[in-house]
Each structure stands twice: as structure tokens, then as C-alpha cells.
Amino acid sequence: MASKARVIRPDDLAVYLRNPKIRSRIMVDQQVGSKNVLMLYNEMQCPYEGVFHTRAGEEILFMISGESVCEMEGGERLTLTEHSVLFVPPGVKHRHFFPHPGM
């Protein structure tokens, strides 16, 4: 019996533009059999300032390169650097900032 495990590579997936500054690829979702996880591969054009949002599930962001800031509703800010991971619990209102490279 096959395990349904699979390897997914960004270059094998279609790119869609969420807005002029974000190129996205859907890596994992219900189409590949995930019940609780949505994983996106995003390429951001800096500078970028997102809007406050929440998710029904956890949000996990892995910073491949560069730096970003996540602001929680209420003003708490967390800085992500290259190879760090951000975990946001379900229902926590937050937004992302991607400053100019080198800032």
C-alpha cells in the first residue's frame, strides 16, 4: 500500500500573483491530501506591508533569506531573520512587513 507521502518542489508548481509584490506557489493544501495545513512558497518584492489577518489554523513562516517583521494586534513585533521560523497560533490577528533589503 502506498503511503501517499510525496516530495514537492517549488519549480514544479504554477506561480500566481497575489498582488503586484507577491509571487506565490501553493506547496501543500487539500489538493495534496492535507487536512489542516496550507503551505505557501512566497517571493516578496520589498518593501511590502501586509494587512492584519487571522487564520483558522496555525501559521508557520520559514524565512529563507532576508528579514521580516510580524506585528501582532496590540503592537507586539517579532523579527525574523534568515533561517528562522515564526509560529502564529490560530485566531491571532497579525500582519507582516518586509523592509528594504539590508534594513
pLDDT for the residue 75: 95
pTM: 0.76
pLDDT digit of tens for each residue in the chain (103 aa)? 778 898 999 999 999 888 888 889 988 888 888 888 888 888 888 888 989 999 888 888 899 988 899 999 999 999 999 999 999 999 999 999 988 655 4
Report strand pairing: 39-44 vs 68-72: unpaired
Q: Give the model's pLDDT for residue 101.
A: 59
Dmax of the chain from CA atoms? 51
Burial letters 13-49, b for 16+ CB under 10 A, else e = eeeeeeeebbebbbbeeeeeeeeeebeebeebeeebe
